[in-house]
Chain A
């Protein structure tokens, strides 16, 4: 799944978007303030989903420790207030890093002092564990409000998941163009949450591996290939309504305007990849390494021709290539909005880079999008020889915060 959709057709995306422009008015996103580099926090949807992918990520998943529903709701209010301040380039707390009384710890940790907002976005999601714990108990009286689409992911072939870095009751995705700003946000939010939540696992990422806007060029992943050519883009308003945003009637009302996030930490065995021939690499992906064109075509955004055969009579784009298996045509039209990041967590003690892709994909319903695509990939994808999925999680990301009187997840706790 590392490159899910990498081969999906950009052309199809454009067509779909153009056909659905009528929806644009109600689904437009406020854009970044060019002068300050601040992404608007309030809006119909949470920022950090179709916001043009920033360069850096700090993602964290929490376990909820409290049994008190009101404490949990209060934490979400506090997180909302702190996120509104930090995304505007201000301190996490009302007093700030250096303005309090000398004997008390500051209510902001201070490492972002003097730094601009750096297009920081803070996006919050709820995991299945918030509704029922492992023993099946309804922890906060929310079980009846669990969306059917927030289903536990099935086990996929070849999964090597580590429980200690998988799952979580809550998540926060902080993206920014400065890693210090993203880390500052997570650090302060985790601190605010102490006692109510505990950090389960976290992940740093760099080098956005997808474009979420047509204004962005397509970046490369650690295999060296362009990644995200066929991603859903912010401009595809109609497609976003069809594929990304939860619509009224999809499930419980509190999720309308939200989206579901699937995260997968995909370790790449880059050393063996680097020893494989260019032709093999391209055959695995189904695209050229240079411009990123589908094999047999010339341009990155050309539609792949899955029927084309070579002189040997075999398909030019191999049957087990990533592009073919992930293509919407083979997956009931399923598309994803991906905003994953490369990671290198040092090396693994055997001298191998502990590196890969922290895959993140937003969608309207994982049961109809991520799950069938990954089921196909996990069985047949030639890329499986070079990747291992080590972490997995799914979260329901509620709609945006309307104004200063509202908070993240207010609909769920209403």
Chain B
């Protein structure tokens, strides 16, 4: 899989050159009113039907012609998610709409949902207006909310599949689906944590019993799957999980997040990594902590990317540091890839865990400065 480095241009990118006259007539016919942009996503390919469009709203139709579950993203500078579809199963086709201001973007298919994806440049033409700070902050919340919606959609789907496997008594399949379903949960966990009572029902660990709660949710099923392997009585637990997830998804989609909540959410996700993933506390039975680790970092990155236009105006040096440290964490984690997933937390040496911990701390410190920048002055 390729990993393409690209320079971070702002949304108001100066490279939005409209002067490619040869494309003009074609582009006009498919502008805001035109037909969808099609994406053929294979296991090793990502064919996007057009790579230059005029500014405005566009529809992407993503067809998975490969054998792995895939994702498709349109990224702005700093991997700001402009639009995406998650969890596209082989043979399926999904559609999404996205409003694109002039600028340079990247498209990415992620077969197997791993890594940076198969990337290509994507240009949106037209003349850009400078982004006002207020608009940048409002846009941040909107951008992240759209990300949350895409994740919750995939969360519902993947949890549904996991629950179905549990209820069918298919231990092997349930074990395979478990970390995938949790990926979507872990990416947006701070949003879920806003809903205090639901979060422990869905994601609480055995310790919740001490607080007088019943032990339900993902980790209860995790325990049964990985300790006794007996899930014959877990049907009601599985049903409860899906019902709780549905409820939290509805609430999360309706929630209006503030830029400050985004900033704190980005930090909270890394604190999650530092306090319960590196230690193996979270996935104590399955040891799939590195799946959560990766998802937490991705979620944090999405929140930071949403804030990027505002941060570039107020704290360009911080943006540079964040880019470097995100890249460091990602490359440190990549050492522990195993197939389309991750090595078990329990297979890492203390020295390897320390390296990850150092990288997370190095990222979390500058991320903790974002809230001050957003709120400041």
A residues neighboring B (CB under 8 Å): 63, 65, 100-105, 164, 191, 194-196, 198
Given A164-B350, A191-B365, A194-B365, answer yes or no on A103-B260 (Cβ-Cβ < 8 Å): yes
Distance between Cα atoms of A394 and B325 in the complex (Å): 30
Is B368's CB under 8 angstroms from A195's CB? no
Residues in B with CB closer than 8 Å to A102 are 375
Contact partner, A101, options B361, B364, B376, Cβ 8 Å = B376
**Interface positions of B from 348 to 377, Cβ below 8 Å from A:** 350-351, 354, 357-359, 361-366, 368-369, 371-376
A-facing mask of B317-331, CB < 8 A → 1, else 0? 000010001000000
**B377: nearest residue on chain A (CB-CB)?**
A101
Is A103's CB under 8 angstroms from B376's CB? yes
Distance between Cα atoms of A104 and B366 in the complex (Å): 11
For chains A and B in complex, what number of residue pairs have CB atoms within 8 angstroms? 46
Distance between Cα atoms of A195 and B322 in the complex (Å): 11
Residues in B with CB closer than 8 Å to A191 are 365
Distance between Cα atoms of A191 and B362 in the complex (Å): 9
Distance between Cα atoms of A100 and B365 in the complex (Å): 16
Residues in B with CB closer than 8 Å to A196 are 362
**A195: nearest residue on chain B (CB-CB)?**
B362
Residues in B with CB closer than 8 Å to A63 are 358
Contact partner, A194, options B260, B351, B361, B373, Cβ 8 Å = B361
Distance between Cα atoms of A220 and B321 in the complex (Å): 49
Is A104's CB under 8 angstroms from B371's CB? yes
**A163: nearest residue on chain B (CB-CB)?**
B351
Given A164-B350, A195-B325, answer yes or no on A105-B368 (Cβ-Cβ < 8 Å): yes
Contact partner, A104, options B359, B364, B365, B369, Cβ 8 Å = B369
Q: Pick the most buried of B354, B361, B364: most chain A CB atoms within 10 A of its CB.
A: B361
Residues in A with CB closer than 8 Å to B376 are 101, 103-104
Distance between Cα atoms of A228 and B87 in the complex (Å): 69
Contact partner, B366, options A103, A164, A195, Cβ 8 Å = A195
**B363: nearest residue on chain A (CB-CB)?**
A195
Knowing that A101-B375, A194-B361, A198-B354 touch, tell me 16 more A-B residue pairs with CB under 8 angstroms: A63-B358, A65-B359, A100-B372, A102-B375, A104-B368, A104-B372, A104-B375, A105-B368, A105-B372, A194-B358, A194-B362, A195-B321, A195-B361, A195-B365, A195-B366, A198-B362
Is A198's CB under 8 angstroms from B368's CB? no
A-facing mask of B45-75, CB < 8 A → 1, else 0? 0000000000000000000000000000000
CB distance from A317 to the nearest CB of B (A): 45
Count, chain B residues at interface, CB 8 A: 23
Is B369's CB under 8 angstroms from A198's CB? no
Given A191-B365, A195-B366, answer yes or no on A65-B372 (Cβ-Cβ < 8 Å): no
Distance between Cα atoms of A105 and B370 in the complex (Å): 10
Distance between Cα atoms of A164 and B353 in the complex (Å): 13
B residues neighboring A (CB under 8 Å): 260, 321, 325, 350-351, 354, 357-359, 361-366, 368-369, 371-376
A-B contact pairs, 13 of them (CB 8 A): A65-B358, A101-B376, A103-B371, A103-B374, A103-B375, A103-B376, A104-B368, A104-B371, A104-B373, A164-B351, A194-B361, A194-B364, A195-B321
Distance between Cα atoms of A101 and B366 in the complex (Å): 16
Q: Pick the most buried of A100, A101, A196: most chain B CB atoms within 10 A of its CB.
A: A101
CB distance from A103 to the nearest CB of B (A): 4
Is A198's CB under 8 angstroms from B361's CB? yes
Distance between Cα atoms of A195 and B318 in the complex (Å): 13
Residues in A with CB closer than 8 Å to B260 are 103
Residues in B with CB closer than 8 Å to A198 are 354, 357-358, 361-362
Distance between Cα atoms of A196 and B321 in the complex (Å): 12
Residues in A with CB closer than 8 Å to B374 are 103
Is A103's CB under 8 angstroms from B372's CB? yes
Distance between Cα atoms of A230 and B102 in the complex (Å): 77
CB distance from A344 to the nearest CB of B (A): 24
Distance between Cα atoms of A100 and B325 in the complex (Å): 25
CB distance from A233 to the nearest CB of B (A): 40
CB distance from A144 to the nearest CB of B (A): 28
Residues in B with CB closer than 8 Å to A103 are 260, 371-372, 374-376
Distance between Cα atoms of A322 and B375 in the complex (Å): 63
Is B372's CB under 8 angstroms from A101's CB? yes
Residues in B with CB closer than 8 Å to A65 are 358-359, 362
Residues in A with CB closer than 8 Å to B366 are 195
Residues in B with CB closer than 8 Å to A105 are 368-369, 372
Distance between Cα atoms of A68 and B216 in the complex (Å): 48
CB distance from A391 to the nearest CB of B (A): 16
Residues in B with CB closer than 8 Å to A104 are 368-369, 371-373, 375-376
Distance between Cα atoms of A191 and B371 in the complex (Å): 18
Residues in A with CB closer than 8 Å to B321 are 195
**B260: nearest residue on chain A (CB-CB)?**
A103
**B368: nearest residue on chain A (CB-CB)?**
A105
**B267: nearest residue on chain A (CB-CB)?**
A105
